[in-house]
Amino acid sequence: MSPSPPAASDRLRALVRERAGLDLTGVRATLLAAALVREAHAAGLPDGEAFARSVVDGSRPLEPFIEELTVGETWFFREPAQWALIEQVIVPEGLARRAGGPEAFRAWSAGCSTGEEPYSLAIALHDRGVRHGVHLVGTDLNESALARARRGEYSLWSLRGAADARARRHLREIDGRFVLPREIAARVRFFPLNLARGEYPSRARGLADLDLVLCRNVLIYLDPALVPEIATRLFATLAPGGWLLTGAADPPLAAHAPFTVRAGPFSVAYQRPTARAALRAAGRRAAPAEVAARAIRTAPTRAARTAAAERPRRPPPEPGLPPAVLPADPDLAAAHLLVDAARLPEALAAVDDAVRRRPLDPDAHFERSVVLTELGRLEDAEEACRRARYLARGQPFVHFFTALLRLRRGDLRGAAGAFRTAAALAARVPPGTPLALSHGMTAGALREAARFHLSRLVGDGPPLP
């Protein structure tokens, strides 16, 4: 008896992996299943398998469906420890290296999604007074996300974590949206690019001789078999002395290209050696196992937990590292991804499931508040945030998010009170401590952001704690 042919959805998963390099396993399998059901409904087909068959047999195009699967997990100034490295080390080195030349700094955000990352770099350079000779490129597989990036308009979701005060100084709020000024937005050029294909390095497209490549939390979504070639190509795009930053959960790259590996509170960074440094380092590179042990942090998925159990034990992460990429709860993880994919009704359904299963979980209620905020249901969002505050007593960021919600609703008095409470709670912990539920915002950054908002709301009122 011959074996049954694979399901159409399995064949489509393999085709997406072949064309785009995407690995649709683990939590991301939820996105595939949801996308198939959604597209089948829109096409008038009976189920997701029918839609998958129509793509696999060529009667429907594959590329639009691939765009539906790509998730843009991004916000302004994400991962503060890496931004400290960028602004204190990488930018000054790049500026010094190019002093007197026609360009001041060259950088590429690979997998930029809706553009918050390259715009963050544009803001950082602007704040430093670097206004000319800036070469910034953002690329992504998803052309719909790139279209949103070119508009330069964002919601409150893009200003979470440590980004709020820093980015908001440069954004104009118009009808609940936050808009970049033209002088900053014009410094970034966007175009589509598939990291799984050999489209880089490319001098013609500006993907060569770079001071910085940001490829953060992108490689984790790709087929591991593609990583060695991608690492080699990324290395080749860098100028001597240029830097590559990946995400905390991305696979280690030191075994695939002759990087100098730098470890610190920013996790792991990769630098292309200068010719002189490469000669000094010849024969003295760290063993791949040693580099991997330093580089890999555990993502909260079953596969990652299993892999972590097989790795050697390592010391706890240094203070200041960002929290895990996704919530541990599967429904919350799915909601987190769906929000970034702009699938808000599905995100709400996922988070509602989490709340029903764990009604006393503050994380579930807070994630629900975030989703409701993105849906524009601000009164419901504040009620969900109130429940999270009750269940997670003393969490500064929940009070800070409450303040932002009240600010958006026009309750200025209530917002000022919540900002003061958030700052007072944050003052009880060391400034560099990452705050729960905040996506990497530290206690010190929250107090700075609260001070910024209060200065606008009440002027020179009573000082913050």
User: What are the structural domain ranges in the chain?
Assistant: 8-69, 80-295, 330-457
| Amino acid 328: pLDDT | 59
pTM: 0.60
Determine the Cα–Cα distance for residues 229 and 244; give it in Å rounded to an integer: 15
pLDDT at residue 317 tops 70: no
CA angle 317, 25, 331 (to 5 degrees): 70
The correct CATH number of 330-457 out of 1.10.357.20, 3.30.465.10, 1.25.40.10, 3.40.190.10 is 1.25.40.10
Instruction: Tokens for 343, please give them.
Output: 């699938």
Listed residue (36, 99, 41, 88) closest to 66, CA to CA = 36
Instruction: Tokens for 8, please give them.
Output: 């159409």
pLDDT band, very low/low/confident/very high, at 187 (cuts 50, 70, 90): very high
pLDDT at residue 332 tops 80: no
How confident is the model over 242-291, as pLDDT tens digits? Answer: 999 998 778 889 889 999 988 766 677 899 998 655 444 444 443 333 33
CA angle 279, 285, 290 (to 5 degrees): 170
pLDDT band, very low/low/confident/very high, at 116 (cuts 50, 70, 90): very high
| Amino acid 135: pLDDT | 95
- Output the average pLDDT for the chain: 78
φ, ψ dihedrals at 434, nearest 5°: -65, 135
Q: Tell me the Cα Rg of the chain.
A: 22
Listed residue (383, 379, 424, 422) closest to 399, CA to CA = 422
Class level of CATH domain 80-295: alpha beta
Torsion, CA 120, CA 125, CA 127, CA 131, rounded to 10: -120
| Amino acid 464: pLDDT | 43
Determine the Cα–Cα distance for residues 317 and 267; give it in Å rounded to an integer: 8
Of 2-11, 168-177, 316-325, minimum mean pLDDT range:
316-325
Q: Which residues contact 366 (CB under 8 A, 6 or more apart)?
A: 384, 385, 388, 392, 398, 401, 437
| Amino acid 96: pLDDT | 94
One-letter amino acid for residue 125 of the chain: L
Burial class (CB in 10 A: 0-12, 13-18, 19+), 240: middle
Listed residue (243, 254, 249) closest to 267, CA to CA = 249
By the 8 A CB rule, do 48 and 33 touch? Answer: yes
Cα(first)–Cα(last) distance of the chain, in Å?
Answer: 75
How confident is the model over 76-115, as pLDDT tens digits? Answer: 888 888 898 999 999 999 999 999 889 999 999 998 988 9
What is the CB neighbour count within 10 angstroms for residue 172? 11
Q: Identify whether 315 is preceded by a cis peptide bond (ω within 30 of 0).
A: no
